[in-house]
Amino acid sequence: MTITLDPCSARATQPAADHPDDPADTAEVTISTAQVDLLSVAGWLTDKWLTQLRRELQALFDSGTQYLVLDLARVSGCDHRLFDVLGWAHRILTHREGWLRLVGVGPAVHNALDDATPSESLLVYQASDWTSDLNG
């Protein structure tokens, strides 16, 4: 299968020749980075880096972010204070009728959940389980 991406329109179209059984059948994928922001976090999240994370999130919010995917795959260590930042971000985005989604929730974040409040645990569960609705 060949996918052609037109960077000007951010549209990808599969040529009909890739489907000899039905030449009229084409697939189109639209990618819009203007709708969803992605922020990747890496390393050990100490007070210093949690403060920096909050600043980065605030900059996104100041620019109008409504939908945010937060990639935590490369977080090597954190504690329950991460959930204070996530809860704060979640409240802002919910107020804007947006959402926060967590991807790459690995062992460091799971271990920190041991010290989290029930509401913090629920937030992480809901924000990281968003793909289950897509599977039917």
The tens digit of pLDDT for each residue in 50-100 reads 999 999 999 999 999 999 999 999 999 999 899 999 999 999 999 999 999
Model confidence pLDDT, tens digit, residues 8-35 = 444 444 444 444 555 454 555 554 556 8
Provide the residue range defining the domain that includes 125.
Answer: 37-135
DSSP 97: T
Sheet strand arrangement including 28-30: 4-6, 11-13, 28-30
Q: Is the pLDDT of residue 2 over 50?
A: no
Do both 55 and 81 map to the same domain?
A: yes
What's the average model confidence in pLDDT over 27-48?
Answer: 77
Q: How far is CA 90 from CA 26, 27, 99, in A?
A: 38, 34, 7
Do both 58 and 100 map to the same domain?
A: yes
Do both 45 and 2 map to the same domain?
A: no
* pLDDT of res. 33: 57
Do both 20 and 62 map to the same domain?
A: no
Residue type, 122: L
- Place 127 in a pLDDT band, splitting at 50, 70 and 90: confident
Do both 77 and 116 map to the same domain?
A: yes
Do both 113 and 130 map to the same domain?
A: yes
3-state secondary structure 98-119: CEEEEECCCHHHHHHHHHCCHH
Do both 76 and 116 map to the same domain?
A: yes
Do both 18 and 44 map to the same domain?
A: no
CA distance 57 to 43: 17
Q: From 102, 21, 25, 22, select the one nearest 57 (Cα to Cα).
A: 102
Do both 43 and 15 map to the same domain?
A: no
Number of domains comprising the chain: 2
Do both 57 and 109 map to the same domain?
A: yes
Q: Is the pLDDT of residue 7 over 60?
A: no
Do both 55 and 20 map to the same domain?
A: no
* pLDDT of res. 128: 82
Which contacts qualify for 21-30: CB closer than 8 Å, 24 or more apart?
Answer: 29/3
Do both 24 and 65 map to the same domain?
A: no
